Each structure stands twice: as C-alpha cells, then as structure tokens.
Copies of this chain bind each other. A is one copy, B any other.
Amino acid sequence: MLTVRPSTFSDLVSIEKLANHNSAKISTLPQQRDKLSAKIDASTRSFAGDESMGGIEQFLFILENTETGEVLGTAGIDRSAGNGQPFYNYRRDELIHSSRQLQVNNHIPILYMTHELTGKTLFCSLTIAPEYRGTEFFGLLSRARLLFIGLFKERFDEDIIIEIQGVSDETGDCPFWDSLGRHFFDMDFATADHYSGVKSKTFIAELMPSHPIYVPLLSDAAQAAIGKPHPLAEQNCQLLHREGFRVGNHIDIFDGGPTLGAHVNDLNTVKSMHTKTVKVTESNGGGVKYLICNGDFSDFKCVVGHLTDGIGDVIRINHTLAKVLDVSEKERVTFAPL
C-alpha cells in the first residue's frame, strides 16, 4: 500500500535517487547528499518536536510502497519560509506614468524585491516517481501535508505558500533569468539555482540588484514568463488551484514563476476534513475513496482508502488500513474526500 510518512535516514539513498532523476528539476528538493542528509536530520528533529528547531521546523514526508519498501516521492513543509533567513520574492506592482498635458497614461509594471512572505508556512520539495505522476497518489502525497497542517494548525503559520517552478526550456535556459539575474550573477540559471539550494542566502543579498525593476526593460520572453508556471508544474498548479490556492503578486526572483498562497482555513482539504473514532472491521466495506490519516504528529501516516462516512462519530476501516495507519479500535482517524 502507498503510504505517506515522515522521512528517516534510511531513506537517504532512495531520496537521492529520486532527487537526481531528470524530472526532479522542477522540485526544490536538494540534490546533494550532505544537503539531503541535513534536510532529513532537520525533519527528524521537527517530527520529534525538538524545541531547538525554534519555529523553523522543516518536515519532509515520503511516499512509500509499504510492500516493497520503495520510496516513490517526497513532499516537504517548511514551518517558516526562509528557515530563519530572509525569503526573497519579487512583488509585482504597477505605477501609472500619466501626463494630462500630453494625454499619456502609461501603466508601468514594476518588480520590487520583498521579504514579506518570510515566515509563512511553505510547501516545498515535492517530487514523485514519473510513473506515479497523474495518479491519485500524486494527490495523496501533496495533500497529506494539508491534513497534517489541518491537524496541527497551532504549529504552522495561518498562511500557506508554495512556489511554482517558472518557465525554462529543455536545455535549462530560463528567459526571466537570462534577462534579469544573469546580468548580476554572471552564471546560467542552473548554476544559480544550484547555489540557491546549497548556500546560505547571503549571496542573494550580495548579488541581486536592489533597485526596483521596470518590467518593460526586460526581454519580451522574460516579460511573458512573469508569473507563469513551468509546463511540468501545471498539473500541480491545477491541483493547488482546486484546493483553494490563489496566484498572488509574488514571483520567484530567479525564474519568475508564481507563488501561490492561501489562508489555511480556506483550503478545501482543511475545510472538508473530519476526525472520527475507528471501528476495525473485516470487510473491505465499499464506500468511496478518501485521504485517511492517523492523528499522530511524530508517526504521521496517510493513505488513500475506501470509507463510508455517516452521521455518527464512528467510522469503519478494515484491518489492512488500520495496520498501515497504525491505529487500533477506538483510536481516531482523520479523513477528507480524495
């Protein structure tokens, strides 16, 4: 059965393989073993409730085939975007350059560097094995995080954000980068993106231009790429949009990709989730598919399973499900429509 659970150090090699797969380019998951290892360490401490994480918890979930032990995907939550450092975005704004005398009225879009999303809860590091893309397990992996946040709201910011990879071509060329960041970094997008994953963000303060950027001065391709998702990220965008995430005025400073945001209580999964008491039964039970998770913080588990929800407080699940979720009779599970 495919299950979402916290990552552990024993997943390191599997995750590394996933991270280095070609299609992972659109993910924010780091590709270097030491960085991955640090990320798993931070996650382990975060799930353990380690107080020294001090509000910058970083959770990394994995999607595992419990029968084969295979790791099929990852999904992360950073409690606090920027992880204690400034979180950079461009904010889109517009100035009107207007002259009554000359009857000119020009709307000039401008990009301002901003840190205002710093500290919001960030969804990140989403990767899934290519053969599972487009399946219900993609939804499971991505949305399991929403159940987790819904269960433990007090541990997260009330605003959730997620950065969507921006437009780049097969060779990795990124028109927004080529027209903007490249002038100041003197390197291609892939290299800058790599540094962004592995270095402290000091270099962004050092290298990114600090003055506002007039959009009309960027190349046409760059202007067109502002706020546009990478084709490979469109499925995820669709899912997020259905979930209640909305495109705001923030874009990525490197590739111009959009940042989606939502108030936690406006998210469909959070609005529609219920918690009921378990009755373990033999039968498969029929019903419709739900996301189902246990209520355990450190040993969080989430799967797709069949349920029949009713009016009472009791819900029936079969043995297999109960075992995978690690819940017994009278314990409680949380579920939301798939």
Residue ranges of A at the interface with B (Cβ–Cβ < 8 Å): 84-86, 91, 93-96, 98-101, 105, 112-116, 118, 200, 202, 205, 212
Which of chain B's residues have a CB closer than 8 A to the CB of A84?
A: 105
In the bound complex, what is the Cα–Cα distance between A114 and B93 (angstroms)?
A: 7
Which of chain B's residues have a CB closer than 8 A to the CB of A202?
A: 99-101
Q: List 16 A-B contacts (CB under 8 A).
A: A84-B105, A85-B100, A86-B98, A93-B112, A93-B116, A94-B114, A94-B116, A95-B113, A95-B114, A95-B115, A96-B115, A96-B118, A98-B205, A99-B202, A100-B200, A100-B202
Which of chain B's residues have a CB closer than 8 A to the CB of A96?
A: 86, 115, 118
Q: How far is the CB of A272 from chain B (nearest CB, A)?
A: 21
Pair A85/B98 contact, Cβ less than 8 Å: yes
In the complex, the chain B residue whose C-beta lies closest to that of A84 is: B105
In the bound complex, what is the Cα–Cα distance between A321 and B114 (angstroms)?
A: 54
Q: Which of A84, A116, A202 has the most CB of B within 10 A?
A: A116
In the bound complex, what is the Cα–Cα distance between A112 and B249 (angstroms)?
A: 15
Q: Which of A86, A96, A100, A105 has the most CB of B within 10 A?
A: A96
In the bound complex, what is the Cα–Cα distance between A149 and B287 (angstroms)?
A: 46
In the complex, the chain B residue whose C-beta lies closest to that of A114 is: B93
In the bound complex, what is the Cα–Cα distance between A205 and B113 (angstroms)?
A: 23
Which of chain B's residues have a CB closer than 8 A to the CB of A212?
A: 212
Which of chain B's residues have a CB closer than 8 A to the CB of A95?
A: 86, 113-115
In the bound complex, what is the Cα–Cα distance between A141 and B84 (angstroms)?
A: 49
Which of chain B's residues have a CB closer than 8 A to the CB of A98?
A: 85-86, 205
In the complex, the chain B residue whose C-beta lies closest to that of A107 is: B115
List the 8 closest A-B pairs by CB distance, nearest first.
A86-B96, A96-B115, A86-B98, A95-B115, A93-B114, A94-B116, A93-B116, A100-B200
Given contacts A86-B95, A86-B98, A95-B113, 15 further A-B contacts (CB under 8 A): A84-B105, A85-B100, A91-B93, A93-B112, A93-B116, A94-B114, A94-B115, A94-B116, A95-B114, A96-B115, A99-B202, A100-B200, A100-B202, A101-B202, A212-B212
